[in-house]
Amino acid sequence: MATLEEIRALLGEPRFNWSDPTPWGELEQELGVEFPADFREIVDAYGSIEINGQLYLKHPAGHLLHDLGTMIRGDLDLWRDDDMVEFLPSPVGADPGELVPVATATTGEAVFLCVPDATSSPWRVVVQEFDSPSWTRYEMTFSDWLLAYLKGRDVTLCARDRAPGGPFWEFLP
């Protein structure tokens, strides 16, 4: 699994550095799922940010416009709509095998974490291209997927054209 240090080496120093677990606990209790440690560590370090002018990550302690919980609730409603369910490999939600929406992109992709079937199984990433019926499941953790994205590898989102000088981030306004 990729480490925060590997992410930091490519993305730069985080400036959010959140340490209070309360917002995570409240969101996890509401949803009935505990987010993977690597996802929490990255989001706690960087907060609600835009990476490479493309990928949005949100923290549960963000304000209403950039709050992870608000985003997840809205996306769960969207992806549960009868017209949308055919665009994903499994239902959205917090039960084993279901998909939890955790990030979006300006280029029309939605990033999901697939809830493992067993507590000893790793979380996986699914990326859906909103403008088409296609999705891709990545047999990697969120941190591995993000590291691949930051290195310019094609993980449905591709950063090469968006970050020619290397990965960058900025806080969401």
User: Which range of residues forms the domain containing residue 114?
Assistant: 4-153
**pLDDT for residue 64:** 65
Structural domain contains residue 168 = no
**pLDDT for residue 84:** 85
**pLDDT for residue 163:** 82
Per-residue model confidence as pLDDT tens digits over 16-58: 999 999 999 999 999 999 999 999 999 999 999 999 999 999 9
Phi–psi pair at 150, nearest 5 degrees: -65, -30
Per-residue model confidence as pLDDT tens digits over 143-171: 999 999 999 998 998 766 778 888 999 99
CB 70 within 8 A of CB 173: no
Structural domain contains residue 172 = no
Would the pLDDT of 70 be above 70?
yes
Structural domain contains residue 170 = no
Structural domain contains residue 110 = yes
**pLDDT for residue 52:** 94
Cα separations (Å) of 24 from 20, 138, 152?
8, 25, 30
| Residue keyed to tokens 């996802």 | 39
**pLDDT for residue 22:** 96
CATH number, position 82: 3.40.1580.10
Question: End-to-end distance of the chain based on CA atoms, in angstroms?
Answer: 31
| Residue keyed to tokens 């029309």 | 108
Structural domain contains residue 105 = yes
Would the pLDDT of 65 be above 90?
no
- Which has the higher per-residue pLDDT, 75 or 160? 75
Q: What is the mean pLDDT of residues 60-65?
A: 79
Side chain identity, residue 81:
D
Structural domain contains residue 161 = no
Would the pLDDT of 99 be above 90?
yes
Instruction: Give me the chain's average pLDDT, please.
Output: 93
Q: What is the pTM of this model?
A: 0.95
Structural domain contains residue 171 = no
Q: Number of folded domains in the chain?
A: 1
